[in-house]
Structure 1
Amino acid sequence: MYQTGGTIETLLNKVEQHEYILPAIQREFVWRPDQICQLFDSLLQGYPFGTFLFWKIKTENLRQYQFYDFMRNYHQRDQVHCKKLDIIGENDRIAVLDGQQRMTALNIGLRGSYSWKTQGKWWSSADAFIERRLYLNLFECTDPESGTRYEFEFLSEDEASHNDEQHHWFLVSRILGMNAYDVMMAVMEMNMPDDRKPAAGKVISRFHDIIHNKPLISYYLEEGQELSKVLNIFIRMNSGGTTLSYSDLLLSIAVTQWSTLDARDEIHKLVDEMNQIGNGFAFSKDLVLKAGLMLSDIGSVGFKVENFSKENMCKLEDNWERIRKALLLAVNLLSSFGFNSYNLGADSALLPIAYYLYHRDLDNSYLSRSEYAADRQGLRGWLIRSILKQSGIWGSGLDTLLTSLRSKIKEHGQQEFPLIEMSIAMTERGKSLRFEEEELQSLVELDYGNRRTFALLSLLFPGHDFSHHFHVDHIFPKARFTKKQLKKAGVTDDTQAEEWIVMANRLPNLQLLEGSQNNEKREKLPHEWYEMMWPEPTARANHLHLQAIDSLPETLVDFGGFYHQRREILLARLRHILSEPITA
């Protein structure tokens, strides 16, 4: 039945007291800070808030299910999952089936904080994640283009302290503890021109009224206790939305059908563990769920309802520890090849590798033992080829491809990674790993920011120990390629200068360099740096030859000749490596 009434303040009090809880079938919180800000602007403008879908669970049934708390202080690295709840007491509870994102947005905005990674900082850095809380600018700033009228922003305490003629920031969470008198006093005490206080006071008063007095909450209450009925309602309510993936709905089925392990908890923990390996990855729970289907030899690997039968989910649970071990080993293998979230570019490429490791029941010794060296190199070459294909090996037709590759590994992968058989299977599906001349010409001019550039350089220059962190680095420093610097070096033609600025970022001027060496090199010209690193002329010449550098000019004015000569050397190497079919 539909019910109306209740304020936002009352709603959040019930969230805090765990009267409103999240069932295990719910997904994670996925809203961005700007979406939260937009919700609060809509509330303050008086737009409809939407209806919620609640499920009343009787006390005697609470122990049958797993429940989670609402997110309050979101941290992009350290706290992205809702905390598990141990429900105690004799009261019925309300599980939220639809409306979690809005309720969590209110909870974070009015009671908590949102911390995301600062651009340019490493994930492991202590200062990469600044705690930001929601603030309201008391000076209205209508934006006709976006339709916003009230400016809400997540700011650090320091950022919020900087007020000016266009901004006076008010901490949104203060409103919960205020009454009408507090609002009046807050305005009087504000450090702003007196003629602006009446308008600011109206904004705070309106905001206070919306949170404390307006009965904005309306909901449909389902009181049936049968989980199958509730799951059906949940899927019907959510499957039409574009922000909720179909895998979320199917994961909800797995959650209800595992008998010993907590599917949601296990999958989230595994995703976190995978993403913390090496220099960090960004694998999703969708990928892990698909890996579960693939490694358990379930169906066609696709996210189809029939693949999530009780029988299949029991099989997935029974195999979970081996699946977990194979996925972690596969990610460690990718890390040993130098890959991370910034340069992998094709997360699904992990799946055939994980299936191979799972099929052979290999352990961590695969990463280092010499008897596996040739197999590792063959697998690495196959992986890099698949990543370099611009046409997209891991895009359309993915489920069909994965099913076929699984079959080939199962049939031919008892002793080694079946390169030839997999390559043939991929060619048959229009995903050949052979490169035509047009593709090679495109690859030899990949630019510095392309996610495939690392893979290409690691193929062209093998033998690095990627247990150390390697950067894609400019040979002639990028900082030297401004019109001012080029003119100073003797390049007076503006057209040539513009061409060189572009060329400086392309493959012929790029190399792989270990992090410590990259810091030492800085803006030195290459001849100067190489002389410092390899003082002995013969050793230096040998190293340069390995780097496809046959001659190294001492001045920037000769960059053009260096670039074109190295381009031809790299292109010849690519033709040798990639134009032929893959072989064992």
Structure 2
Amino acid sequence: MSIAQALRQIQDRRLILPAIQREYVWKPRQVIQLFDSVMRGYPVGSFLSWKVLPETVSQFKFYGFMKDYSAFDNYHNPEIDIPSDREIVAILDGQQRLTSLNIGLRGTYAYRNHGGWVRNRWAYPTRRLYLNLAGLASENELGLKYHFQFLTSDDLLATAEDETRKWLPVSDVFEASDAFAMTKILTRLDGNHEEAIDLVSRLWHAVHSTATLHFYQEDDQDIEKVLDIFVRVNSGGTVLSYSDLLLSIATAQWSGDARAAVHGLVDSLNQTGNGFGFSRDTVLKAGLVLSDVGDIGFKVKNFTTANMEKLEAGWEDMSRSLQVAVGLLSDFGLSGGMLSADSVLIPVAYYVHHRRLDHSYRDSPKTRLDREVLRSWVLRSLIVRGVWGSGLDTLLRDLRDVIREHGDHQFPLVEIERAMAGRGKSLAVTDALVEDILSLSYGKARTFAVLALLFPHVDTRHQFHIDHVFPATLLDKKNLRRSMDAAGSPSFTSDQIDELVDRRDRLPNLELLPGLENIGKSAKPPSEWLAAEYSTAEARGAFLDRHAMPPALPSSVAEFSDFFDERRTKLAARIRDLLASAAPEARPADTRDVVDLDEELAGGDDVE
């Protein structure tokens, strides 16, 4: 069918989306590339549709296509009600392309201005798609031939007098449903310019006349088969989470709106503190764990009516537990960029849920010691590689069992670490772990967790910066190359410079400082800053002791390497002391548990 025919079916809600579809994820650049391909007559791929009979319609939830997309506050597809006696066609493959055509020809796209505040509505102005009739696109990296662009009303005013910019709203072409209506567009063109007429005619024919879209239809009503087809055809391109598919089953079996409930909770959790990046996968997995469902794997068989009823019945309580748990992670100084494994949220939430804790747990003096134990365990589990990797479902089930059996009054640290060691995920300190930690560098998620654990005096509920003890600017490669000794010779060889630059960002040269204090420190040599900041020898000594520093801080680059080695030794001792595990030693490295194949293939969410 033609593009216009497909969009009219979308407009009439005869062409819709099943809940198994993920939401719209294309960027403006991709939309423009698609329209460029349409104008050039290139194939834009085939589409897979599903003919849904009335008896199946009533068992499923469906959504409309996005028309006016806003990255700020309108990015969830609208749910639509389908009459139970109506047969419809749902798109299994091709949603992103069809939505892009719908936005470009019928709607708007509001994306954030470069440098705009994420939470400021005004940073997301409404834009429509336009075609420049003054000429073809200038040379560009994307290889575009035609000049399509998303513009705001202010953009139009700014280019009103520019002879190289004659903008036609692409929506005008869609609304011109016949040749007579297209002629009206042509009569508006200044001077009846031949090139402009050709551009309008070409776009009109591409939208209305050419059968550009090729559909293949699936008629089977078996959801398992449809789900399998959907997974197969969506295995490429933008990664599709399996939870996106399973959410549809929950949506179909939930009396309320499961999709809205999950999306709302994810949005709420991610706005906590300095912001997180939890996915629907994590929230759905947490839901299965907190509901005490036996098998928590992402499998169709686990999303039964009984399990979904249990999930829906306890959703409000589980949501509160997850919000308290995310609040705790934020209190521990963690956020999206500093959380190396999202799955750590789940056992924390289960502990909160099991004990029915509320937000008062986060700051009550009575729960301080328990919070410190929980904080230590969370940070250590994020520091040790592989804890939240393969075999995740098995680990989560074990941790749930331990908390359920031993976590009525306090966080059962000893029993939890024993269970983890039994799964080959011991938190015990080894020489290899110490060396791995000492080699961590600036900017890595695990680095903050290490510093927060090693320096418990830091109140991570306030803003702290990871700071270079010896300023990074003084160890810049260009500055080091320009450095000369008293005789006028280079101060450092090429190898020495490489070593200094590498050491600059390693853990022994990092510390946590309050935000304002870090800003004030600037690029002063450490010895000079310490003397200015702390007026007495006693205060300076206390600072050095808290931060595991040598007795004297370096005053020049020449003293940096000795400082680095001394502090590395001090940190190694502190790592062994503070990371000491309360659980038995790890099993031999060559033994491991057998996990389900789908778990093994799924891997984990560890990130460096």
- Shorter-chain TM-score range: 0.7 to 0.9
Taking structure 1 as reference, are residues 94 and 489 closer, same or farther at Cα in structure 2, changes over 3 Å only? Answer: same
Partner Cα separation in structure 2 for residue 527 and residue 168 of structure 1: 63
Matches within 5 A, 1:23-34: 23-34=18-29
* Distance 1:171-1:393 versus aligned 2 partners, 3 A rule: farther
- In structure 1, the partner of 2:136 is 139
Distance of 1:514 and 1:238 partners within structure 2: 50
Which of 299, 302, 308 pairs up with 1:304? 299
3-state secondary structure, aligned to 2:445: coil
Q: Secondary structure at the match of 1:513?
A: strand
Number of matched residues? 564
Partner of residue 213 from structure 1, selected from 200, 209, 230 = 209
1:148–1:430 CA distance, 2 compared to 1 (3 A): farther
Could you tell me which residue of structure 2 aligns to residue 8 of structure 1? 3
Note the C-alpha offset of 1:488. Answer: 5.8
Give 2:43's match in structure 1, choosing from 39, 44, 47: 47
Question: Aligned partner of 1:354: which letter?
Answer: A
After TM superposition, the structure 1 stretch with the greater mean CA deviation from structure 2, 36-45 or 284-293, is 36-45
What CA distance in whole angstroms lies between the structure 1 residues aligned with 2:521 and 2:120?
Answer: 23
Report what 1:377 is aligned to: 372
Taking only aligned residues, the RMSD between alpha carbons, in angstroms, comes to: 3.8
- Per-residue deviation, residues 15-58 of structure 1 (Å, max 9, x unmatched): 34545443444432233445434433433342154234154677
Residue of structure 2 in register with 1:551 after alignment: 552
- Please say if 1:346 is aligned against 2:341: yes
Cα pair 1:481 1:500 within 8 Å, conserved? yes
Decide which moves more: 455-464 or 204-213.
204-213
Structure 1, residues 117-146: CA drift from partner, whole Å, max 9, x if none? 677766345676566655668536799x98
Worse-superposed segment, 95-104 or 321-330: 95-104
Note the 1:170-569 alignment, pairs <5 A.
172-173=170-171, 175-176=173-174, 180-181=182-183, 198=195, 202-219=198-215, 229=221, 231-232=223-224, 234-240=226-232, 241-242=234-235, 243-259=239-255, 261-390=256-385, 392-486=386-480, 490=484, 492-495=491-494, 496-549=496-549, 550-569=551-570
Residue range with higher mean Cα deviation, 212-221 or 166-175: 166-175
2:473 & 2:262 partners in 1: Cα distance? 44
SS in 2 for 1:239: helix
Tell me the equivalent position of 2:588.
none
**Contact 1:360/1:414, CA 8 A, preserved across alignment:** yes
Deviates more, 1:176-185 or 1:303-312: 176-185
Q: Is the 8 A contact 2:277 2:336 kept in 1?
A: yes
Amino acid in the other structure paired with 2:103: I
Say if 1:307 and 1:187 are closer, same or farther in 2 by CA, change over 3 A.
Answer: same
1:543-580, Cα deviation, whole Å (9 max, x unpaired): 13211223122334432222222222112211222355
Pair 576,236 (structure 1): closer, same or farther in 2 beyond 3 Å:
closer
Q: In structure 1, what is the Cα distance between the partners aligned to 2:123 and 2:289?
A: 36
Query: Is the 8 Å Cα contact of residues 142 and 150 (structure 1) preserved in structure 2?
Result: no
- CA change 1:305–1:498 in 2 (3 A) is same
Letter in 1 for 2:521: K
The separation in 2 between residues aligned to 1:442 and 1:116, in whole angstroms, is: 41
Q: Is the 8 A contact 1:56 1:221 kept in 2?
A: no
SS in 2 for 1:342: helix
Provide closer, same or farther for how the CA distance between residues 223 and 300 of structure 1 changes in structure 2, counting only shifts above 3 A.
closer
Identity %: 42
CA distance in 2, matches of 1:482, 1:171: 51
List runs of 5+ in structure 2 lacking aligned partners.
485-489, 585-608
Alpha carbons 2:69, 2:108 under 8 Å: kept: yes
Q: Does the 8 Å CA contact 1:434/1:579 hold for their aligned counterparts?
A: yes
When residues 363 and 563 of structure 1 are mapped into structure 2, their CA distance, relative to the original with a 3 A threshold, is same
User: Which residue identity lines up with residue 499 of structure 1 in the other structure?
Assistant: E
Change (3 A) 1:54 1:301: closer
Compute the displacement of 1:336 (Å): 0.6
For 1:311 and 1:50, the matched residues in 2 are separated by 38
What is the alpha-carbon distance in structure 2 between the residues aligned to residue 426 and residue 120 of structure 1? Answer: 44
Superposed displacement of residue 246, structure 1: 2.4
